[in-house]
Amino acid sequence: MGEVLEHALMETLRMLPLLFAIYFAIELLEYRYGGAVRKKIVAAHRFGPLFGTAFGLLPQCGFSVVGAALYSQRLVTLGTLIAIFLATSDEAIPVIMSQPASMPIVLPLVLGKIVIALAGGYGVDLVFRGHRYAHESCGHDHTCGEQPGCCSHDVAGGRRRRDLILHPLRHTLTVFIFVFATTFALGLVLHHVGEDNIGRLFLKGSPAQPALVALVGLIPNCAASVVITQAFLKGAIGFGAAMAGLSTGAGLGLLVLIRENKSIADILRVFVVLYAVGVAAGMIIQTIWW
């Protein structure tokens, strides 16, 4: 057990500097352009899924939170929200990029996300034509200040300059703990159970693996994307299953949707559509990839 603990700690510590640098760059980007991004998504109309895909690709779940809030205010279409959620990889890209040996997988991951998000977003808008902009919830009046639920409410909140350091530090520490815990747990399982048995636990080689991993992705916490990413990097799940889980894994955006949206039926619709698209994409990729 001591050897597994030491290996997990050393493996995780090596990624800390690069992980912090990535989160600092993301924080700086959101600090400078976050408000402009929200305005562009709202103004995009029929190009909503395209803009949603582009901004959803940015690491972390910041823009999935923005998308969920805008959708709850009926300022973007269901397809735009689904595109943002599908494009979001939460902590996956920073975790992969912080381990240089795994860098080659970033490009296939990003390209796969783009295709899935665009196809899913525009496909959903095509199917749910009547479920588009319900401006009656707050109208086009954008002068109602900072009242909760108002159209002009700043869904991402204000940022102070000191947050440019504090937020990345907190985020790095949080993800470090998740990655360490996941690496240690997987290491223990591999040590005591064996690589073949852990593969069977994750249904390795089974067509049902993407469906299982996609369920994990629906957990509204960044731990889900960390677990999926680490499981993939350790060889416990295939690329198709990882894509399915990271497609459904919109992180805190799902939590904001549950909290802000008043319609339970609408929330369920989002979850079902997101899960269905994620599983379908994962199964297709699994077939092609292997």
How far from chain centre, in Å, is Cα 96?
A: 14
Q: Which of 34-43, 49-58, 215-224 has the highest mean pLDDT?
A: 49-58
Per-residue pLDDT band for 5 (boundaries 50, 70, 90) equals confident
Q: How many CA atoms lie within 13 A of 7 on its CB side?
A: 13
Looking at the whole model, is its pTM more than 0.75?
Answer: no
Q: Return the minimum-mean-pLDDT range out of 87-101, 149-163, 265-279.
A: 149-163
CA distances from 200 to 176, 196, 218, 232, 233 (A): 27, 6, 22, 14, 16
Quote the CA–CA distance of 85 and 274 in Å, as a whole number. Answer: 8
Ranking 116-120, 144-148, 165-169, 266-270 by mean pLDDT, the lowest is: 144-148
Residues 6+ apart with CB under 8 A from 126: 79
Instruction: Tell me what the mean pLDDT of segment 125-142 comes to.
Output: 56
Contact 262, 231 (CB under 8 A): no
Residue 287 has pLDDT above 90, yes or no: no
What is residue 142's predicted lDDT score, i.e. its pLDDT?
Answer: 37
- pLDDT over 90, % of the chain: 25
Amino acid symbol at 285: I
What is the number of structural domains in the chain? 1
Residues spanned by the domain of 141? 2-289
At 278, is the pLDDT very low, low, confident or very high (cuts 50, 70, 90)?
very high
- Residue 79 exposure: Cα atoms within 13 Å on the Cβ side: 24
